[in-house]
Amino acid sequence: MATVRSVRVSGLWIYPVKSCAGIALEAMELEPRGPLLDREWMVVDAGGRFVTQRTHPEMARIRPVLKPDRLVLNAPGREPLEVPLEPVTGEALEVEVWRDRCRALSAGAAAAAWLRELLGETVRLVRMPPDEVRPVDPRHGRP
């Protein structure tokens, strides 16, 4: 394995909602699952399968903002959606990300309605619970 002598970081970004716009950071807090609040939420369809910009390019217009106590989703022509950061609770669901099945918690009816109006289909915003671990595929990374 080659030795890296120096590394230059040109930017720090997190994407609180998978497949939505990112947030530039000046500093980043890391936890065992990676950067704090990175890809903590995602949008799933009625069958629990994750939804991305590949099939819903309008998701790129969803701009998350993190406040001390809430996640705020903004989209052109829409009132902001506010989702509390704590407590991490909600209806437990089984969802699918690529070929993985994992647990997630629903962010509630208001979030589902906001996204349904924006995306034009029945979807939900879900959050990965703090104790859920999704294994890393060894073809794409390693612990």
CA-CA distance, 115 to 28, in Å (whole number)? Answer: 28
Phi, psi of 110 (to 5 degrees): -65, -40
What does each of the 143 residues of the chain score in pLDDT, given as a tens digit? 677 789 899 999 999 999 999 999 999 999 988 899 999 999 999 999 999 999 999 999 999 999 999 999 999 999 999 999 987 788 999 999 988 899 999 999 999 999 999 999 999 999 998 776 656 666 766 65
CA-CA distance, 35 to 15, in Å (whole number)? Answer: 10
Question: The pTM is what?
Answer: 0.86
- Look at residue 130 in the predicted model and tell me its pLDDT: 77
CB–CB of 31/77 below 8 Å? Answer: no
CA-CA distance, 127 to 90, in Å (whole number)? Answer: 9
CA-CA distance, 48 to 141, in Å (whole number)? Answer: 25
